[in-house]
Amino acid sequence: MNTEIILKPVKIVELFKVLNVVPDNLDKIRARELWEETDQGSGSVVAVLDSGVQVDHPSLKDNVIDGYNFTDDDEGNPIIYQDYLGHGTHVAGIIAAIDNGRGITGVAPKSKLLILKVINHKGRGSFENLIKAIMYAVAWTGPNGEKVNIMNMSLGSPEPHEELYKAIKYARSKGILLVAAAGNEGDGESYTIEISYPGFYKEVVQVGSISETETPSKFSNTNVNLDFVGPGENILSAHLNSDYVELTGTSMAAPFVAGAAALIIKMINRSEPHLIPMYVYEYLLSHALPLENFSINQVGNGFIQLK
Active site residues: 50, 87, 251
Of the candidates 90, 41, 45, the one whose C-alpha atom is nearest the C-alpha of residue 65 is 45
Q: How many CB atoms lie within 10 A of CB 160?
A: 14
Alpha carbon 2 to chain centroid, angstroms:
23
Strands (E), the chain: 4-6, 11-12, 45-50, 64-69, 112-117, 124-126, 150-153, 177-181, 205-210, 228-231, 235-239, 243-248
Helix (H) or strand (E) holding 28: helix 25-28
DSSP 101: S
Sheet holding 45-50, edge to edge: 64-69, 112-117, 45-50, 150-153, 177-181, 205-210, 228-231
Could you tell me which residues are beta bridge partners of residue 235?
A: 247
